[in-house]
Structure 1
Amino acid sequence: MTKILLTGITGQVGQELEQTLTSVGEVIGVSRQEFDLSQPAQIKQKIAEIKPNVIVNAAAYTAVDKSESEAELAMAINGNAPKAIAQAAQDIGATLLHISTDYVFNGQNHTPYLETDKTDPLGVYGKSKLSGEIGVRDCDRHIILRTAWVYGSKGHNNFVKTMLRLGKDREELKVVADQVGSPSWSYDIALTITQLVDKSLNDSNIRGTYHYTNSGVCSWYDFAVAIFAEAKQLGFPLAIERVLPITTADYPTPTQRPAYSVLSKVKITKTLGVYPPHWRESLRKMLTELRG
């Protein structure tokens, strides 16, 4: 039976993967306590002990703004750890699937980013994730899946949960309207990763970098408006009456964010033979699950 080592089991994608990957093999989930990403020697030892056929690295330092003041920690977890995992995977002949981000790009494109487009991260978080991608390529049998604008019902905070929390007590919210991308439901990401892993076991051509998000494009403002519209229909307790569009300049953050985060779905669609569901459809399903 295929043995799959899964890191980051408390994250929003990791929790979904713990369920979806069971269709492919035995899942051995490891938490931050058992698998300290800031200790490369410990990582290698643990992988050598478990001897998995597949490693899915869903663990990451994701505090984008905080990374500017915790650059060393962000680089250790997002940059050095994936390299150590890749080297350990290479030693035992395992396949490594690693999750990356739209933040490896500068957001100046006007058409969806291809896997082959030039990377140019704007801040510490993006630079640390790019460093991780470079390290992952030390493993011959590697798959890098870049995604963006992740949200889900599981795991800690995300944009959808933040909007619902704020919208419960406030009548008015201001949301950035000049950053665009494609919201991605963690469950859809997990399903896609599971399909890639399954396919890679029988097809050595399933290697390299892939992009996956839900289909469709919106701004954070559009996303917020949709969240409230869907949530009201589902009976969420909300006080919100108005969402006002603002610019990035009106809402300065420590990290400069990509203005355009749309990733091309052409390669992943061709590989798996299915087109990603529209973000609004997935948002509705996630909110229904959350309302549960």
Structure 2
Amino acid sequence: MRAVVVRAFGGPEVLQIADVPIPVVAEGQVRIRVEAATVNPVDLATRSGALTGAGLLPVRDVIGIGWDVAGTVEQTGPGVTGIVPGDQVIGLSDRLDVPLGTQAEHVVLDADAVTAAPAGVSPTQAATLPLNGLTAAQALDGLDLNHGQTLLVTGAAGAVGGFAVQLAVARGLRVVAVAGADDEPLVRGLGAELFVPRTARLGEAVRSLVPGGVHAALDAAVTGAAALDAVRSGGAFAALVAGGAQVPLRGIRVFNHWIRADGTLLSRLAALVEAGSLALRVAGTMPIDQVAAAHRRLAEGGLRGRLVLTI
């Protein structure tokens, strides 16, 4: 079968479409025939060697690429219940040190990392949900805000930020969105009550709208100290990338959120999609053999949604 791998770090040119054996299921696992797999910033960091440089990914001869998947269950291993061959599913591969990712014709995942795909959407759309939706939902859980409190979301027009805005509003939070000036109608359409252009001095601009500062910040755009300055003393701050956690000034609770596969939570997110409460955004589609072009386009920035490889 075909799979996207890297055998040396570098630019998009190091990505290879390799011919590899079809993976074998073990106890508690399912094999999925992949129909769509999303391209995310973590894929670029894996390919470039940035994750290895940060000590997050050991050096190995072959590294698989891809986290999100939408497809059809082909086979289940011993002990798997509730999932049968033929089911349309979505899932997340959350391990870095693997020879095979989701950007492949087949992938094996733990059954508890998989759930039924949301009805009424295409596999291309469904593939955009697992990594970015779970990141936003789990980070919100970590911030532990109460109904009516205020949340700053940087990068609110992006994939993670867009999910964070929608999920926060569904929890009864007041959202201050930070994005490009042209994105104000988009993020307000996602439910943001207040808006600050990313060119503004963040702390001052946010505090002019929310006296004393917001209760918490979800820093999807990695603005760092500027976003921390917008948080009131004793608030909370969620960083989403390695090195994004700031010094916990003024008693602010600062943490790095590290994504984990969670089929149960993913099922709840899929239900929100089915109910029309959570929008999925596809920035474009490309066949798997154009994965290098997809990496180049993602690196250029400015996407609203995710690029998806069709298998």
State if a TM-score over 0.5 links the two structures: no
Larger helix fraction of residues: 1
Q: How does the TM-score come out when normalised to structure 2?
A: 0.25
Q: How does the TM-score come out when normalised to structure 1?
A: 0.26
